[in-house]
């Protein structure tokens, strides 16, 4: 197995190693990385959830503490049957417990004792209702006769004035004023009517008309009417608002309340049609309306709470006593129930029996709410502000989707990192945690995944390009090794041929068999030629070795390029003629001086000629031209051989490279000739290129820079004259 592995190509080995030791482990690591990021998402979620739970527990624990403290203080007080004393005591205790919101006491009969409110019909208010007028006096009766039977208003007014003056009680006096005002009004004496109504509206006692309407209300209403008749809009508005405030403070106390409320609205509407309400008027009106709404809402809530409480309790019973001092958790000292407003808003109510030493026929119950506003604006920010939840993590309280606590740009709770319902207090609230950068966990995880994916991709690209580069290097190495081994066999072959010829003819001459001088001369010429060939070959190899190792140095000297080239051609000319070549040479007649290494240039030209000869095939033609072109001299070596395939053209100047097609392969060589030519030409600051067409031949064009200007004068003229083409 291992032995077989040795013969596997380097490429396959590299690929196998890369796969086993790099790609596969990286893939596994990448997969594990993705999985752990996914798991991190889950554990993050769990973290945030427990963080939310912790915060919730802390909030509820603190609430339980606060409630317990309040309840314990209530239980430690001495409560008597005196309602006013109880109210004072409660107010004092409450003042020390800002967390406690609305409180109320339900009495033995199920009625609300505290706070003092005029409640809906059927709920008795404390104390007697204002005295309702039943009695009249003779002046009033006389006045009414004038007013209604005889329609004699002045006499009626006089009589009513008398009634005011002689009234036996303040209530009766107020009533007489009402009648007097009405009479003046009928007389269109609005100033005097207004005066009576104003006095009436400013009085404090609680006189009521026969249908139970407070006279103060009637007075205000009529005063507004009077101002309307006088055209005093400002005063009318002011009076209407005063009337509204009065009405709103005594809800449900009398039957005609709705009528008066509507009248206020209608009156203000009317005024605002003829003139715009002033800013302060409008503000006051808005505030009054809000206060009214708040009051109405509060009364409804209390009433709802009272009814809910009643359904839970048997107030008459003194058993089922929860607070006889038995120790227990704070909130267990009190019971709890949840009530709902008409609009469904839930409220949680705590309640407990007020302790009393006196033997009582029944018990009183104190009920209380935890103050939402306190929780939201004080407690929650204080407690949660302490939490170290991370820089951008914020907590908020929500009811349904509505944020209760202020969160800067709170996203909807659907985007929360975690949300926990409150359980004991405000069970309809939720505590939610957010990242203020508005990142849900999914987004965070996705972002990390993307980042990780990008890094992974980068690494993969690096690894793959590394592998590709290694493969290319290996391929190149393998190619070089192949070329080198080809080179060695090519060189041996090339050296062998001249050597065996030299030996053969040398031995033949030695044997004295050939005495013929002609033959001897021919043999020695062959020996000399083959020696030259050997020298040329060895020169090439030595040159190449210097070039390849970077040790090649050119011995530059100023010289005539035309002469160097024509000498080189001369040495070759006879040989080519023997071989049956047409040798077409065209050189300038005068010298061209450049700075050069003569031997190197001669060797390069020789290499080109040698190639032209080797690769000329059937068409035995070699053309050499030399010409000036601007500041350069052009040397062209051309043949009409089979040419070079386009795919090989870019390689022919590479070391050891030998063409692989056609007759080129049959020619001997070791792939160094053109490498040396290129290196020499470039070493002289020149350039070599090749134009080749399959079947038509190749042309190697060498350009060398001129050494000085004086050359161009000679060169150009003579070349242009076409002188001496066969030098
Ligand atoms: P060698 O001639 O020893 O093979 P060279 O470096 O001189 O090495 O040439 C490289 C290759 O270029 C040759 O093997 C041959 O395929 C191609 N080549 C060079 N000169 C010619 C030419 N004149 N005509 C066709 N092919 C040529």
Q: What is the pLDDT of residues 565-613, one digit of tens each?
A: 999 999 888 888 888 999 999 999 999 999 999 999 999 999 999 999 9
Query: Ligand 1: which atom is nearest the Cα of residue 642?
Result: 25
Residue 349, Cβ neighbours under 10 Å: how many?
A: 23
Q: Give DSSP secondary structure letters for 184-198.
A: HHHTT-HHHHHHHHH
Q: Which of 273-282, 442-451, 498-507 is least confident?
A: 273-282
State the pLDDT confidence band at 409, using cuts at 50, 70 and 90.
Answer: low
Ligand 1 geometric centre to CA of 689 (Å): 13
Q: Is 142 helix (H, G, I), strand (E, B) or coil?
A: helix
At residue 134, the pLDDT reads 55
Give 270-313 pLDDT, tens digit per residue.
887 777 777 888 888 888 888 878 877 777 777 778 888 888 77
- Tokens 């004038």 belong to 146
Q: Which of 165, 174, 184 is nearest to 133 (CA)?
A: 174
Is the minimum distance from the CB of 674 to ligand 1 under 6 angstroms?
yes
Q: Which of 89-98, 257-266, 291-300 is least confident?
A: 291-300
Q: Which of 463, 576, 490, 491 is nearest to 529 (CA)?
A: 576
Residue 557 has pLDDT above 60, yes or no: yes
- Is 0.75 topped by the overall pTM? no
Residue 63 has pLDDT above 80, yes or no: yes
* 3-state helix/strand/coil string of 632-667: EEEEEEEECCCCCCHHHHCCCCCCCCCCCCHHHHCC
Residue 39 has pLDDT above 60, yes or no: yes
**Cα separations in angstroms, 576 against 246, 611, 640, 674:** 137, 13, 15, 20
* 3-state helix/strand/coil string of 395-455: EEEEECCEECCCCCCCCCHHHCCEEEECCCCCCCEEEEEEECCCCCHHHHHHHHHHHHHHH
Ligand 1 geometric centre to CA of 637 (Å): 13
At residue 252, the pLDDT reads 54
Is the minimum distance from the CB of 612 to ligand 1 under 6 angstroms?
yes
DSSP conformational letter for 23: I
Task: Indicate the average pLDDT of the chain.
Answer: 82
Cβ atoms of residues 406 and 376 within 8 Å: no
Give 379-406 pLDDT, tens digit per residue.
988 887 655 556 677 888 888 777 787 6
Tokens representing 99? Answer: 């967390």
Give 608-638 pLDDT, tens digit per residue.
999 999 998 889 999 999 999 988 999 999 9
Distance CA 395, CA 417 (A): 10
Distance CA 290, CA 293 (A): 5
- What are φ and ψ of residue 276, in 5° steps? -75, 135
In this predicted model, which residue has the larger pLDDT, 123 or 696? 696
Residue 722 has pLDDT above 70, yes or no: no
Buried b / exposed e across 175-206, counting CB within 10 Å, b at 16+?
Answer: bbbbbbbbbbbeeebbebbbbbbbbbbebeeb
At residue 514, the pLDDT reads 64
Is the minimum distance from the CB of 491 to ligand 1 under 6 angstroms?
no
Site to substitute for ligand 1 among 637, 674, 700, most atoms within 8 A of C-beta: 674
Q: Whose CA is nearest to atom 8 of ligand 1?
A: 671
Averaged over 366-372, what is the pLDDT?
A: 89
Ligand 1 geometric centre to CA of 173 (Å): 141
Is the minimum distance from the CB of 673 to ligand 1 under 6 angstroms?
yes
Averaged over 488-509, what is the pLDDT?
A: 87
Residue 699 has pLDDT above 90, yes or no: yes
Site to substitute for ligand 1 among 664, 676, 689, most atoms within 8 A of C-beta: 664
Is the minimum distance from the CB of 639 to ligand 1 under 6 angstroms?
yes
Averaged over 358-369, what is the pLDDT?
A: 70
Residue 53, Cβ neighbours under 10 Å: how many?
A: 13
Is the minimum distance from the CB of 664 to ligand 1 under 6 angstroms?
yes
State the pLDDT confidence band at 662, using cuts at 50, 70 and 90.
Answer: low
Distance CA 257, CA 118 (A): 13
At residue 323, the pLDDT reads 41
At residue 325, the pLDDT reads 38
Residue 116 has pLDDT above 80, yes or no: no
Averaged over 256-277, what is the pLDDT?
A: 82
Ligand 1 geometric centre to CA of 661 (Å): 11
At residue 439, the pLDDT reads 67
At residue 214, the pLDDT reads 83
Distance CA 673, CA 611 (A): 8
* 3-state helix/strand/coil string of 73-101: HHHHCCCCCCHHHHHHHHHHHHHCCCCEE
- What are φ and ψ of residue 688, in 5° steps? -125, 140
Return the percentage of the chain with pLDDT > 70, whole number.
84
Residue 485 has pLDDT above 60, yes or no: yes
- What are φ and ψ of residue 112, in 5° steps? -80, 120
State the pLDDT confidence band at 155, using cuts at 50, 70 and 90.
Answer: very high
Beta bridge partners of residue 114, listed in sequence order = 105
State the pLDDT confidence band at 179, using cuts at 50, 70 and 90.
Answer: very high
At residue 700, the pLDDT reads 97
At residue 3, the pLDDT reads 64
Is the minimum distance from the CB of 657 to ligand 1 under 6 angstroms?
yes
Return the percentage of the chain with pLDDT > 90, whole number.
32
Residue 306, Cβ neighbours under 10 Å: how many?
A: 21
At residue 194, the pLDDT reads 94
At residue 716, the pLDDT reads 41
Averaged over 480-500, what is the pLDDT?
A: 86
Averaged over 696-703, what is the pLDDT?
A: 95
At residue 299, the pLDDT reads 77
Ligand 1 geometric centre to CA of 554 (Å): 24
Distance CA 462, CA 465 (A): 5
At residue 413, the pLDDT reads 65
At residue 688, the pLDDT reads 96
Is the minimum distance from the CB of 644 to ligand 1 under 6 angstroms?
yes
Residue 330 has pLDDT above 90, yes or no: no
Is the minimum distance from the CB of 615 to ligand 1 under 6 angstroms?
yes
State the pLDDT confidence band at 180, using cuts at 50, 70 and 90.
Answer: very high
Any idea what the Cα angle at residue 362 is, between residues 358 and 366, rounded to 5°? 90
Residue 558 has pLDDT above 80, yes or no: yes
Q: Which of 200, 276, 207, 188 is nearest to 239 (CA)?
A: 200
Residue 121 has pLDDT above 60, yes or no: no
Ligand 1 geometric centre to CA of 605 (Å): 14
Q: Whose CA is nearest to atom 2 of ligand 1?
A: 669
Residue 176 has pLDDT above 50, yes or no: yes
Q: Is 336 helix (H, G, I), strand (E, B) or coil?
A: strand
At residue 319, the pLDDT reads 38
Is the minimum distance from the CB of 638 to ligand 1 under 6 angstroms?
no
Residue 156 has pLDDT above 90, yes or no: yes
State the pLDDT confidence band at 659, using cuts at 50, 70 and 90.
Answer: confident
At residue 71, the pLDDT reads 92
At residue 516, the pLDDT reads 77
Sign, CA torsion 575/578/580/584: positive
At residue 417, the pLDDT reads 82
Averaged over 27-46, what is the pLDDT?
A: 88
Ligand 1 geometric centre to CA of 533 (Å): 17
At residue 4, the pLDDT reads 67
Ligand 1 geometric centre to CA of 656 (Å): 10
Give 157-172 pLDDT, tens digit per residue.
999 999 999 888 888 8
Is the minimum distance from the CB of 608 to ligand 1 under 6 angstroms?
no
Averaged over 667-678, what is the pLDDT?
A: 89
Averaged over 9-21, what is the pLDDT?
A: 85
- Tokens 């449900």 belong to 252
Query: Ligand 1: which atom is nearest the Cα of residue 612?
Result: 23
In this predicted model, which residue has the larger pLDDT, 136 or 309? 309
Ligand 1 geometric centre to CA of 535 (Å): 20
In this predicted model, which residue has the larger pLDDT, 527 or 720? 527
């Amino acid at each position: 197995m291992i032995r077989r592995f040795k013969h596997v190509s380097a490429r396959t080995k590299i690929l196998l190693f890369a796969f086993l030791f790099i790609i596969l482990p990286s893939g596994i690591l990448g997969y594990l990385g993705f999985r752990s990021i996914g798991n991190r998402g889950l554990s993050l979620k769990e973290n945030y959830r427990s963080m939310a739970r912790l915060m919730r527990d802390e909030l509820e624990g603190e609430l339980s503490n606060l409630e317990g403290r309040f309840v314990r203080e209530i239980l430690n007080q001495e409560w008597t049957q005196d309602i006013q004393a109880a109210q004072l005591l409660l107010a004092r205790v409450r003042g020390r417990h800002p967390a406690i919101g609305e409180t109320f006491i339900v009495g033995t009969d199920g009625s609300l004792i505290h706070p003092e409110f005029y409640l809906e019909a059927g709920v008795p208010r404390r104390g007697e209702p204002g005295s309702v007028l039943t009695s009249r006096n003779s002046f009033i009766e006389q006045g009414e006769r004038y007013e209604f039977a005889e329609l004699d208003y002045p006499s009626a007014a006089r009589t009513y004035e008398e009634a005011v003056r002689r009234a036996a009680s303040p209530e009766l006096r107020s009533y007489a004023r009402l009648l007097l005002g009405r009479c003046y009004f009928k007389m269109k004496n609005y100033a005097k009517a207004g005066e009576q109504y104003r006095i009436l509206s400013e009085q404090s006692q609680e006189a009521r008309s026969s249908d139970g309407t407070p006279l103060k209300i009637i007075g205000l209403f009529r005063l507004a009417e009077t101002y309307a008749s006088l055209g005093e809009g400002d005063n009318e508005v002011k009076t209407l608002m005063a009337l509204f405030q009065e009405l709103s403070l005594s809800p449900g106390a009398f039957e005609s309340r709705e009528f008066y409320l509507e009248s206020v609205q209608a009156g203000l509407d009317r005024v605002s049609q003829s003139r715009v309400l002033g800013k302060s008027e409008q503000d006051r009106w808005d505030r009054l309306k809000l206060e009214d709404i708040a009051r109405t809402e509060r009364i409804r809530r209390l009433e709802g709470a009272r009814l809910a409480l009643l359904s839970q309790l048997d107030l008459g019973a003194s058993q089922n006593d929860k607070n006889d001092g038995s120790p227990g958790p704070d909130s267990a000292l009190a019971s709890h129930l949840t009530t709902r407003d008409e609009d469904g808003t839930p409220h949680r109510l705590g309640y407990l029996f007020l302790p009393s030493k006196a033997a009582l026929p029944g018990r009183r119950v104190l009920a209380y709410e935890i103050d939402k506003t306190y929780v939201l604006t004080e407690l929650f920010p204080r407690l949660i502000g302490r939490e170290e939840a991370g820089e951008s993590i914020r907590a908020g309280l929500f009811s349904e989707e509505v944020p209760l606590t202020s969160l800067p740009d709170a996203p909807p709770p659907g985007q929360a990192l975690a949300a926990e319902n409150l359980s004991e207090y405000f069970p309809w609230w939720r505590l939610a945690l957010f990242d203020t950068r508005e990142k849900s966990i999914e987004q965070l995880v996705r972002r990390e995944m993307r980042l990780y994916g990008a890094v992974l991709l980068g690494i993969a690209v690096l690894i793959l390009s590394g592998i590709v580069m290694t493969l290319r290097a290996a391929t190149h190495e393998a190619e070089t090794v192949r070329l080198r081994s080809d080179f060695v066999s090519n060189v041996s072959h090339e050296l062998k041929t001249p050597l065996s010829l030299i030996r053969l003819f040398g031995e033949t001459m030695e044997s004295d068999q050939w005495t013929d001088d002609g033959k001897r001369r021919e043999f020695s010429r062959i020996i000399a030629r083959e020696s030259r060939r050997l020298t040329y070959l060895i020169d090439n190899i030595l040159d190449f070795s210097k070039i390849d190792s970077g040790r090649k140095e050119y011995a530059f000297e100023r010289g005539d390029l035309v002469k160097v080239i024509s000498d080189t051609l001369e040495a070759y000319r006879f040989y080519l003629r023997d071989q049956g070549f047409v040798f077409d040479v065209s050189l300038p007649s005068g010298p061209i001086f450049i700075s050069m290494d003569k031997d190197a240039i001669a060797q390069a030209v020789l290499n080109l000629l040698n190639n032209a000869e080797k690769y000329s095939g059937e068409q035995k033609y070699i053309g050499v031209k030399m010409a000036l072109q601007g500041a350069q001299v052009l040397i062209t070596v051309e043949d009409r051989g089979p040419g070079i395939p386009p795919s090989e053209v870019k390689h022919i100047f590479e070391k050891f490279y030998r063409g692989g097609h056609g007759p080129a392969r049959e020619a001997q060589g070791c792939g160094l000739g053109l490498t040396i030519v290129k290196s020499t030409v470039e070493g002289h600051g020149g350039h070599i290129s090749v134009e080749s067409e399959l079947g038509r031949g190749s042309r190697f064009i060498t350009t060398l820079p001129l050494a000085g200007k004086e050359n161009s004068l000679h060169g150009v003229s003579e070349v242009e004259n076409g002188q001496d083409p066969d030098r």
